[in-house]
C-alpha cells in the first residue's frame, strides 16, 4: 500500500443548512424465517438513520463514531487493512440529538451492497441529511461484513454464500468477463446479461426479492418512528450501491411508494416484467460495468440519466475510497473528485424529483465523469 497515494477523509461534506443526527435501531420480521447463518430464528434488519438537526442543538456535543468495535474489526479483516484511524471512525453527525422541527423532510431509503455494511456511504448520506433529507440506511442479515442489533447480538457475512452465489464460478467469471468487454448496444447487453444471470447467478437474482422484503419491513418501522417528520408529498426516494443500487431500481419499478431512484454501479439482477418504468431514474456506472447496467435505459417513459465515471472501480463508490489507497481496488480517480460528483448526482436529482425544485440535472465539468440524459 505504501506505493499508492494515501487518501484522507473528505472535508466539508456536511455543507447544507442543517447539522446531522444519527440513530441506530433494528427490527425483527416475525414469522419470516432466516435461511442464512445457522438457519434459525426470524429475519433481523438493522437500520441507521441520518436526519437534519438544527445546528444550535449540537453545541458542546462531539461527533459520533461510525463503527462499533465489532464492525471495525470485521472491516479491517475483510478489507485487509491494518487500522481504521480515529479520523476514519468519526463522521460529522451526532447521536441523541432531536430531528429539526423546522419543517418536514423527504425520505430516502439507502441499501448497502453485497458484503458491505450499513455505514458504507456515511459521508454521502450525511451530505444529503444536511441538505434537508431523512435517510434510512438498511442492512441485510448475514450478507454484510457485520451487522449490529439492539439486543447486543451481531452477525457476520455467511461464507457459505460464496458457494451458493454461482452455479459454476469459473464459467461465471469467464462469461462475465466477455460480457463486460463486449462492444454492445443497450438491448444486446441486456439480452446477454439475462442469459448470464439465469445460467450462473440464480441465487443473487432471487435475493433481490428478499432484500425488497427487508426494505418494506424497515420502511414500516421508519414511518412509525418518523411519520411526523417526513414529507411524503412527492413519494419516497431510493438509492444504493451495487446490489443495493439494483434494489433501488427494483423498488421504483414495483413499489408505488417509491417515486424516483439512483443506482450506484449495481448490475440489474432480478425478475422484471415488460411493465414500462414510469419514474425518474439515474444510473451511475464505472465504465467497465456498463454492460450489466443497461436495463434502466430501456422500456421507460420517465426522465432517465446515465453518469459514467472513468478510472473508477466498483468499490470506489463507497467510503472505502478514502481508506483503501490501492488504485487497482478503488480506482485511479481522485477520491475528492469522485465524492463531489456522487454528491452532486444525489442532491441535484433528489432536489428535482423529491423536493420539486426547478433545477437542471446537467452535471459538473469533468474529463473523467460524463453525464448524459437518456430520455
The strands making up 19-33's β-sheet, listed across from edge to edge, are 94-95, 19-33, 42-53, 134-138, 107-111, 236-241, 258-264, 281-286, 304-309, 369-373
Residue 317 forms part of a structural domain: no
Question: To the nearest 5 percent, what fractions of the chain are helix, strand and coil?
Answer: 35, 20, 40
Say yes or no: 45 and 170 in one domain. no
What count of other Cβ atoms lies within 10 Å of the Cβ of residue 207? 24
- The rounded distance, in Å, linking the Cα atoms of 53 and 280 is 28
**Residue 41's pLDDT is what?**
93
Alpha helix locations (H) across 152-201? 161-164, 169-181, 186-200
Mean predicted lDDT score pLDDT of the chain: 93
pTM for this entry:
0.94
Residue 350 forms part of a structural domain: yes
Residue in 205, 158, 23, 20 with CA at minimum distance from that of residue 100: 20
Residue 192 forms part of a structural domain: yes
Domain that holds residue 94: 19-160+206-268+343-359
CATH of the domain at 256: 3.40.50.1820
H/E stretch holding 42 reads strand 42-53
- The rounded distance, in Å, linking the Cα atoms of 285 and 305 is 11
Residue 77 forms part of a structural domain: yes
Q: What percent of the chain has pLDDT over 90?
A: 81
Say yes or no: 115 and 39 in one domain. yes
Say yes or no: 226 and 349 in one domain. yes
**Residue 6's pLDDT is what?**
59
- The rounded distance, in Å, linking the Cα atoms of 174 and 91 is 40
- The rounded distance, in Å, linking the Cα atoms of 236 and 229 is 13
Say yes or no: 186 and 149 in one domain. no
CB proximity list for 129: less than 8 A, separation 6 or greater? 14, 16, 18, 20, 21, 50, 51, 52, 93, 135
- The rounded distance, in Å, linking the Cα atoms of 347 and 132 is 10
Say yes or no: 196 and 210 in one domain. no
Say yes or no: 148 and 193 in one domain. no
* Grid coordinates given for 326: 490501492
Q: 268 to each of 36, 228, 253, 350, 375, how far by Cα in Å?
A: 23, 34, 12, 21, 19
Q: How many domains does the chain have?
A: 2
Rg (alpha carbons) of the chain, rounded to whole number:
20
Say yes or no: 130 and 231 in one domain. yes
Say yes or no: 184 and 260 in one domain. no
**Residue 4's pLDDT is what?**
46
The one-character DSSP state at 367 is S
Residue 141 forms part of a structural domain: yes
Say yes or no: 73 and 214 in one domain. yes
Give per-residue pLDDT as tens, 53-81. 999 999 999 999 999 999 999 999 988 88
**Residue 1's pLDDT is what?**
36
pLDDT per residue rounded down to tens, the chain (375 residues):
334 455 577 888 999 999 999 999 999 999 899 999 999 999 999 999 999 999 999 999 999 999 999 999 999 998 888 888 887 899 999 999 999 998 999 999 999 999 999 999 999 999 999 999 999 999 999 999 999 999 999 999 999 999 999 999 999 989 998 989 888 899 999 999 999 999 999 999 999 999 999 999 999 999 999 999 999 999 999 999 999 999 999 999 999 999 999 999 999 999 998 788 999 999 999 999 999 999 999 999 999 999 999 999 999 999 989 887 678 888 899 999 999 999 999 999 999 999 999 999 999 988 999 999 998
Say yes or no: 42 and 135 in one domain. yes
Residue 83 forms part of a structural domain: yes
Residue 291 forms part of a structural domain: no
* Grid coordinates given for 115: 458484503
Residue in 63, 61, 56, 135 with CA at minimum distance from that of residue 101: 56
**Residue 3's pLDDT is what?**
43
Give per-residue pLDDT as tens, 255-293. 999 999 999 999 999 999 878 899 999 999 999 999 999
Residue 182 exposed, middle or buried by CB count within 10 Å (0-12, 13-18, 19+): exposed
Give per-residue pLDDT as tens, 10-41. 888 999 999 999 999 999 999 899 999 999 99
Say yes or no: 31 and 179 in one domain. no
Say yes or no: 60 and 136 in one domain. yes
* Grid coordinates given for 8: 484522507
Amino acid at each position: 500500500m505504501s506505493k499508492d497515494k494515501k487518501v484522507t477523509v473528505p472535508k466539508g461534506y456536511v455543507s447544507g443548512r442543517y447539522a446531522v443526527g444519527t440513530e441506530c435501531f433494528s427490527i425483527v420480521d416475525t414469522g419470516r424465517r432466516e435461511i442464512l447463518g445457522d438457519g434459525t430464528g426470524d429475519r433481523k434488519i438493522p437500520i441507521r438513520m441520518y436526519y437534519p438537526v438544527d445546528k444550535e442543538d449540537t453545541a458542546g456535543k462531539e461527533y459520533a463514531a461510525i463503527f462499533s468495535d465489532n464492525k471495525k474489526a470485521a472491516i479491517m479483516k475483510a478489507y485487509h487493512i491494518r487500522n481504521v484511524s480515529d479520523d476514519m471512525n468519526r463522521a460529522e453527525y451526532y447521536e441523541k440529538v432531536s430531528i429539526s422541527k423546522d419543517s418536514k423532510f423527504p425520505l430516502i431509503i439507502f441499501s448497502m451492497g453485497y458484503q458491505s455494511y450499513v455505514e458504507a456511504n456515511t459521508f454521502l448520506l450525511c451530505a444529503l441529511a444536511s441538505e434537508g433529507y431523512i435517510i434510512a440506511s438498511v442492512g441485510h442479515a448475514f450478507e454484510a461484513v457485520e451487522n449490529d442489533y439492539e439486543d447486543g447480538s451481531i452477525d457476520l457475512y455467511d461464507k457459505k454464500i460464496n458457494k451458493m452465489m454461482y452455479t459454476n464460478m469459473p464459467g461465471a467469471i469467464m462469461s462475465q468477463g466477455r460480457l463486460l468487454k463486449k462492444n454492445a448496444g443497450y438491448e444486446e447487453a441486456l439480452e446477454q446479461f439475462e442469459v448470464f444471470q439465469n445460467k450462473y447467478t440464480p441465487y443473487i437474482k432471487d435475493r433481490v426479492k428478499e432484500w425488497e422484503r427487508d426494505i418494506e419491513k424497515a420502511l414500516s418501522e421508519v414511518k412509525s418512528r418518523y411519520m411526523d417528520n417526513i414529507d411524503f408529498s412527492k413519494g419516497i426516494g431510493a438509492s444504493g450501491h451495487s446490489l443495493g443500487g439494483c434494489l433501488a431500481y427494483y423498488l421504483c419499478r414495483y413499489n408505488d411508494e417509491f417515486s424516483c431512484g439512483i443506482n450506484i454501479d449495481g448490475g440489474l439482477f432480478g425478475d422484471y416484467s415488460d411493465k414500462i418504468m414510469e419514474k425518474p431514474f439515474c444510473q451511475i456506472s464505472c465504465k467497465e460495468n456498463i454492460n450489466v447496467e443497461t436495463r434502466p435505459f430501456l422500456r421507460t417513459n420517465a426522465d432517465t440519466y446515465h453518469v459514467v465515471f472513468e478510472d473508477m472501480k466498483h468499490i470506489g463508490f463507497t467510503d472505502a475510497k478514502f481508506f483503501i489507497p490501492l488504485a487497482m481496488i478503488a480506482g485511479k480517480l481522485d477520491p475528492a473528485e469522485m465524492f463531489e460528483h456522487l454528491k452532486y448526482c444525489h442532491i441535484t436529482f433528489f432536489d428535482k424529483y423529491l423536493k420539486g425544485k426547478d433545477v437542471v440535472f446537467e452535471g459538473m465539468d469533468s474529463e473523467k465523469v460524463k453525464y448524459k440524459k437518456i430520455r
